[in-house]
Structure formats: structure tokens, C-alpha cells
Structure 1
Amino acid sequence: MRRKHLVGVVVVIFLTWNVLMYYMLVSRNPGKVGAVSVQDQLRNLQGDIQRQLSHNSDLLQQLRKFREQKQSEKLDKEIRRTPHPIDTNSVVLPILLIACDRTTVSRSLDLLLKYNPNKKRFPIIVSQDCGHKPTADVIQRYVSEHGIQHIKHPNTTDIKLPWPQRKFQGYYKLSRHYKWALNQVFHTFNYSAVIIVEDDLDVSPDFYEYFSATFPVLHQDPSLWCVSAWNDNGKVGMVSDEADLLYRTDFFPGLGWMLEKSTWLEIGPKWPDAFWDDWMRHPDQRKGRACIRPEICRTSTFGKKGVSKGLFFEKHLKFIKLNDKFVPFTKKDLTYLQKDKYEQYFMKLVKDTPEVTVSEAMSGHKSNMKALKIIYSTKDEFKSTAKKLGIMDDFKAGVPRVAYNGVVSFMYRGQRIYLAPPSNWKGYDPKWS
């Protein structure tokens, strides 16, 4: 109402001003009207009106800026506002499944429905892009038979890109779809949190249990900004059998992840045009916050082909181990994941672990020890060691995959390895890539 009133006032001022200008021009110098041609009067009137329109345009522009500033201030207040106390053990956690043109979305939906313990607490929303009718028909079967929701991205047009970027069209469309779908979840459906999956993911039997138990930790700890079901180094042989083991990580994992509305209110307005996951890993977004991730993945991907053209699938993704045991996380005390407790415990554990060289670790001569620590001081040292031991060796904004305070934890031939920076480590270097 306030905005409509403001626009009405501007329109009235505009019309009133132009009427006054007209009468002033017509009545100007009444004794000389006959000496001035009608054409000259019209020309003068046209010039005055154009100047007034320009002035009005500037005024409207200032009003728009004022309105945007007020909206920004309102958003900042909403983000900073202390959340009302909620029952974190019963808050509704919808599953947002991002879909496009895979009819095998049925595989993902079957598992999500099979393991769903409470459809009211975990409603399933499929957001479809692409306008692919065969996929839409598959999803509609689940709407009628299981009561899931099917929403469709209204804009499936190609995005105009300069020639060098045209090959990334899929990444631009995916980012556009994510933004629209998350706005639907948080602003249209008004949920307070969401669990996001894609149409090429299998989920574990304790997928819902995992997110149910970690949501209270995420909600109560401002140093966390997501929970992920994914371990980038979670290949068979590189994880322990401790299915209940959870970590904090500075690296945004994705691939089955949860965030709260307060976080979306912060990052949604500046959402990128493409490569949204790498954008999330930038310091400007992460702001020193961490995610929770498991030792053994609660999701695995069967999507060999997608916007990444099967990148990493044959060499890495298809070897990811999906947890097959049900862990009763909601009955466990997960407060150890809170920042102060976790850093005191985890960093002491790494500090007290015997240090060896990569050659000593690979030789097996110290296999009787529970864990070993290998120090890296440079980017090249990290990459060389990672390649030898078989873990992911890349960085995003200077952060190695799964790292926390620079430490990467994984299994090598049945032994825990901590690939860690030196004790005088000063933090991540964004130039490491």
C-alpha cells in the first residue's frame, strides 16, 4: 500500500506540473500573444515538456534507488534478526529435487520415497527445467501416486552468451534454475530450510536420519552454513567402516546438501549466472563458515552424462562408496561438531599424530600405528602427495577438497592419514588453484 501511494503521488505531481506549465506558457506575455506564432508557442511548449520529462525521469530514478535501498535495509534486518526459537527436531525439511531431461529421475524418486520416514515432515518437491515432456510424464506419475509436488521452471529459453562462453550454456541454465527453485521453496512455499538433491543421485537408508540429526547443529551454530551428504574422497578403500563418523569441512561439498532460509536471504540476491557451486566456495560467500560432511557418503551419483559431460565420473565418481547401514544419528550427541568443541578435539588429534614422509606412509613400515600425519607446505607438495595417495588434488579458492583448517583426512591401505599444513599455517591462499 505504501508503494502504491508513493507512485500515485508522483503521477499526480507530474500531471499537475504539466498542466501548470501549459497555462503559464499560453498566458505568458498576453499583450504579445498575437506577435508570436502558434508554431513558436508549440515549439517552446515541446522544449519545456521535454525538459520536464527529463527532470521527472531523474526523479523516478532517485525514487527507485531509494526504494532499493529501503528493500536492502529491510533484507539486512531480516538476515540479522535473531531467529525465533523453533523445535529443530520437528521442523519441516522439504526435499528439493532438481530435474531436467533424465527419465531416470524415477530411480532417485524411488529411493527418496522408499526411505522417507514421514512424508509430512519431508515433503518432496521436484523442480523441472528443460521442458522435456517424457521426463515430465515420469514425474507426473509420482504426483498422482505418491503426492509429491511438481513445479516447472517457466523460463527454458537459451541464454545469450558471447562465443567463448556458449559451450557453458548448460551451467548458466542450471544456475538460473537453482535460483528460481530455491526462491520457490523459501518465498513461495515459505519453508525455513531445504535439502537439495539432483536427478542423478542415489541416497542411503539413513539419508533422512542424517539430515534430521544435523539440522539442530546447523541451526544453532553460526559458524556452519550447510550440511552435505558428500565426501569428495569417499571412494571405496579410502574411507573407514565408521559409518557414524562426521566432520566439519571448509570446502563446500554439494551433492545432497541442506541450507536454511537465513542463508538463502544472504546469498540468493547475488546468486551467480553460472558455476554456482564454485561461487559458493569463494571466500566472499563462505565467510569463514564450514559445512558438516560424513566419512561415508549418504549420496552417490549415477549420472555419467550431464552439464559436466561426464567429467571425473569414470575415474572417480563411480567409485564413491554409498553408506548401506542405518546409523541412528538422532539418538547420538552431535554437539562435538560445534566449532569450539570440534577444533579442540580434532586439531589436538592431528597435532598428536606421528609425522612421516609420504614414502614412509606408502611403504607400510608403520602400519601398526592407528594414524599418520604428512605435512605439506606448498601447493605443489600437496598436489604431489595427493596424487601418490589417490585423493583429489585440486583446490577451489585455495581450499583442498574436504579440508578443515587445511587438514585433509582419509584412509590409505586401512590406515588413517592426515595430510596437514605446518603448525605455523596462516590460512588458505586463494591463489592456490
Structure 2
Amino acid sequence: MRNQVFVALACICSFLWVTIIFILSKDRAPPQVLLDPQSLESRLKNVEEQLSRQIEDNKKLLENITQVRHKLEVKLAEERREKVSVSGADESNYEGKNDNVIPVLLFACNRVSVNKALDELISYRPSKEKYPIIVSQDCGHKETANVIAGYGDQIISIKQPDLSEPQVPAKEKKFRGYFKIARHYGWALNQTFNTMGYKQVIIVEDDLEVSPDFYQYFSATLPILREDKSLWCVSAWNDNGKAGLIDENAADLLYRTDFFPGLGWMITKDLWDELSVKWARSYWDDWMREPVQRKNRACIRPEISRTKTFGKIGVSNGLFFDKHLKFIVLNSKNITFMDKDLSYLLKDNYDKRYIEDVYKTDMLNIQEIRQGFRPELKEVRLTYRNREDFRRYSKQLGIMDDFKSGVPRMAYRGIVSFMYKGRRVYLAPGANWSGYDPKW
């Protein structure tokens, strides 16, 4: 009985459906076959405008989705660290829960000479637990991967999974490598901070030597970096760190600088949380130097570099290496920074002392400085009034003469400190300096 009722209902429904379709088809107006040209052009223009608006809306939507995704990733990573991982390994094994652990994140690609960098990092390392070394490899270069694998459990090895070719503007195709590097940096820093849970990291590349006190330097400056919100990094590098331009008897001398140096640098997770949601697609170091990222924050840097590059061949094709980079002096002394009071680097302490010291020094002109006039003066000041002055004086005195977003290399409040013929020179703007000009 039930089957008969069901069949009857099915037949009625089918009949009604066919009837409705027939009525609708019968009453439908025939489509217009031809449109006059003006009407067609108007409609096409409207469609083009709607598509343009939709594209802009999609861009905004994508930016919002990216930010939401990042926040979810951070939240999920925090939840994962409180649970047993999928692989069965307790993520509490990561020392990231100890706020004083400082991992070293080494970026590698296709240099088999990565062993030179790793050997020094491992030989100078006081503790494997406090200073885990994470090697992140891009490129998929097998020979380099084999070298890295040879270090076994002395390091943590990770591999950037996206080896696809990035989308690059046509006029920048020869700079494709810079897009890959920025992508690699973003991925590896997310792994270090959000997956492994570390609170800070020292970033190096596969072509850097390090000094014997490399770990001391970063460990001692970490509390200052955490405390002083006007700082956003600690760097091991001095762009003007060539022989003759540094005081080699002042290996413990540290500065603040408004210039982001890179080449061995430390940041905190708080900073990465800020930068990661808008991370650069390419040229990440110059992107860091833009005012919108820097926000008037400074880095700590040494008188004598704690890193030195041996990588002549790379994405930059050896830019500056033969003329400059290979002459940078690497500190050879083991300075016990942990025993020193570095509170002078805090902004409130540093600015008052440093600015007073600079502007109370006697002022000489460029000819007097080059000729060694008044040798009894151990510190002198040379004033520049504009960009042309700075570049002309820099070239005559042997320091870097370029600017990034208006900031001279190694400058603090416009002042660049270096040695010339055995005495300290401050290349400084006038005392009424009001800030950097990004157009310089």
C-alpha cells in the first residue's frame, strides 16, 4: 500500500514539474540578438567599473584574511605548545618556554661552505640547550642539504617547503632571488617564533664568521632590548668597521644607531608579531629601514663587528665585497659582556651623555681633520649641513656615504662616530637637528 501511494505521489509531482517548465518556457520573451554600439559600449564600461571595484574590495578582503589568519596561527601555536604534538613528541621539549633561551637561526640555500659558519657557531657555543642552532634551508640544493644533515643532533634542521617561482614584476625579474629570500625569512621566523615558541632569536646567514664573544654579546644586550621599547634590534655589525676607522682597543664599546645594520642581528617575538602581518615580499632589509617600519626605533651595535662575511658570490653578485666588506675587522677578543653594566645604552641614559659629549667637542673643518690639525684633541667634530656635505666628507674620510630612507649608515640622531688617523671624529649635523629627511 505504501509503495502504491509513493508511486502516485511521484507521478503527480513529475506532472506538475513538467507543466510548470512548459508555462515558463512559453511566456519567456525572446532574447535580444543585437545591441546598438553605444548601448554595448555603455554596458561594457559599467562592467569594467564593477570589476575594478570588486578587485579593490578583494584586495582589502585578502589583507583582512591575512591578518586574521596570522592571529589564528599564533593562537593555535600557543595551544599546540600546551598539548602533545601530532607526531607524539611533547613540544615542551622545545626550550622556547625558557625566556632566556636564545636560538640562532641560520639561513642556508646552496652554499656547501655553510659548514664554515656552522663550525664556528658550534665551537664558540657555551651551551647547546641555551643556544640551539636552527638551520633553515631554501633552494632544495642536495649537496648543501647533505652538509647540514652531517651535523646530526647538534642542530635543528628545517626546510622551506615552497620552492615555486615567486610572482615578480617584469622589470624586477633579474632580482627574483630577493623575493625568494624574503619569503624564506618570513617562513623561518614564523617557524621559530610561532611553532617552536622561542621568545627571541639571533639571525645569521650561511656566509658569516662570528667572533669568540658572539654569544656573550647577544646574551648581555638581550635585557636592554627587552626593557627599552625605543630599541628594536641588536646587531653584530658595524658598516664602518674597517681597520683605521675603529678603535681596536675599545672592543667593549657599544652604541645605539638609527640605522638597521643586519648581518647578525637579534629581535624579539613581540617585534615579529608586529612585522609578520605585513612582511616584505622582497628587499626585506631596506623594507625594515623604512620609517613606517622603524618608527624612530634604534638598534644596538658594536665598535668592532662580531660578524664578518666571507660570501662574495650570492644574490647581490658580490656587491661591495671587494671594495668594502672583505676589509671589515672581526673582533678577536673575548669580551665578558655579561660582567658589564650596559644600562648606559638605555635611551634616557644614552641620549643625555652622548649628545653632550658630541657637541662639547671642538669643531674642525675637513682640511684640518685630514691634515691632523691640533693633534692634542682626541675627539673632534665635523659639521655637515646637507646631504652633499655628508657625502663629500664621507668619501674623503673613508666611511660609507650612502643613506637608506634618509638615515646614514651607523648614524644616531644624525651623528656618525668613527676613527680617523688615530682620533675620534663625530660627523654630525648642527645642534638644532630636527630629524632625518627620507628624501636624502
The TM-score range, normalised by the shorter chain, is 0.7 to 0.9
Partners of 1:302 and 1:67 in 2: CA distance: 42
The Cα of 1:204 is off from its aligned counterpart by: 0.1
The Cα of 1:35 is off from its aligned counterpart by: 6.7
Q: From 140, 146, 155, give the equivalent of 1:131.
A: 140
Q: From 118, 142, 145, give the equivalent of 1:109.
A: 118
CA contact (8 A) 1:370 1:415 kept: yes
SS of the residue corresponding to residue 171 of structure 2 reads helix
CA deviation digits over 1:65-88, x for unaligned, max 9? 89849939969x99xxxxxxxx99
Partners of 1:331 and 1:141 in 2: CA distance: 36
Q: From 340, 343, 347, give the equivalent of 1:339.
A: 347
Aligned residue pairs, count: 378
CA contact (8 A) 1:221 1:338 kept: yes
Q: TM-score, normalised by structure 2?
A: 0.81
Residue 118 in 1 paired to residue 124 in 2? Answer: no
The Cα of 1:40 is off from its aligned counterpart by: 3.6
The aligned amino acid for 2:179 is Y
| Off by >2 Å, runs of 4+ in structure 1 | 32-36, 38-41, 64-75, 87-90, 160-163
Partner of 2:362: 354
Partners of 2:340 and 2:63 in 1: CA distance: 50
In structure 2, relative to structure 1, the CA distance for the partners of 1:285 and 1:35 (3 Å cut) is: closer
Q: CA RMSD in A?
A: 3.0
Residue 94 in 1 paired to residue 103 in 2? Answer: yes
Q: TM-score, normalised by structure 1?
A: 0.82
Please list, as runs of the form range in 1=range in 2, the aligned pairs for 1:259-298 lying within 5 A after superposition: 259-298=267-306
The Cα of 1:236 is off from its aligned counterpart by: 1.1
Q: From 287, 307, 310, give the equivalent of 2:315.
A: 307
The Cα of 1:162 is off from its aligned counterpart by: 3.4
In structure 2, relative to structure 1, the CA distance for the partners of 1:150 and 1:224 (3 Å cut) is: same
The Cα of 1:33 is off from its aligned counterpart by: 8.5
Larger radius of gyration: 2
In structure 2, relative to structure 1, the CA distance for the partners of 1:395 and 1:69 (3 Å cut) is: closer
In structure 2, relative to structure 1, the CA distance for the partners of 1:195 and 1:37 (3 Å cut) is: same
CA contact (8 A) 1:298 1:323 kept: yes
Q: From 204, 207, 218, give the equivalent of 2:214.
A: 207
Partners of 1:67 and 1:170 in 2: CA distance: 28
CA contact (8 A) 2:362 2:381 kept: yes
Partner of 1:387: 395
Partners of 1:168 and 1:66 in 2: CA distance: 25
Partner of 2:157: 150
Q: From 68, 71, 95, give the equivalent of 1:71.
A: 68
In structure 2, relative to structure 1, the CA distance for the partners of 1:131 and 1:380 (3 Å cut) is: same
CA deviation digits over 1:250-293, x for unaligned, max 9? 00000000000000000111111110000000000000100000
The Cα of 1:360 is off from its aligned counterpart by: 0.4
Partner of 1:374: 382
Partners of 1:183 and 1:96 in 2: CA distance: 11
Partner of 1:322: 330
In structure 2, relative to structure 1, the CA distance for the partners of 1:258 and 1:38 (3 Å cut) is: farther
In structure 2, relative to structure 1, the CA distance for the partners of 1:428 and 1:39 (3 Å cut) is: same
CA deviation digits over 1:156-182, x for unaligned, max 9? 122232331111011111111000010
Partner of 1:192: 199
The aligned amino acid for 2:111 is R
Partners of 1:72 and 1:150 in 2: CA distance: 26
CA contact (8 A) 1:88 1:216 kept: no
Partners of 1:148 and 1:123 in 2: CA distance: 7
Partner of 2:230: 223
SS of the residue corresponding to residue 195 of structure 1 reads strand
In structure 2, relative to structure 1, the CA distance for the partners of 1:186 and 1:367 (3 Å cut) is: same
Partner of 2:172: 165
In structure 2, relative to structure 1, the CA distance for the partners of 1:129 and 1:34 (3 Å cut) is: closer
Partner of 1:257: 265
Identical counterparts, % of pairs: 54
Partner of 2:183: 176
CA contact (8 A) 1:89 1:212 kept: no
The Cα of 1:147 is off from its aligned counterpart by: 2.4
SS of the residue corresponding to residue 270 of structure 1 reads coil
Partners of 2:246 and 2:67 in 1: CA distance: 50
The Cα of 1:36 is off from its aligned counterpart by: 5.4
Partners of 1:266 and 1:137 in 2: CA distance: 35
In structure 2, relative to structure 1, the CA distance for the partners of 1:108 and 1:361 (3 Å cut) is: same
CA deviation digits over 1:294-323, x for unaligned, max 9? 000000000001111000000000000000
In structure 2, relative to structure 1, the CA distance for the partners of 1:334 and 1:89 (3 Å cut) is: farther
Unmatched tracts of structure 1, length 5 or more: 1-25, 45-56, 79-86
In structure 2, relative to structure 1, the CA distance for the partners of 1:90 and 1:213 (3 Å cut) is: farther
Partners of 1:72 and 1:350 in 2: CA distance: 48
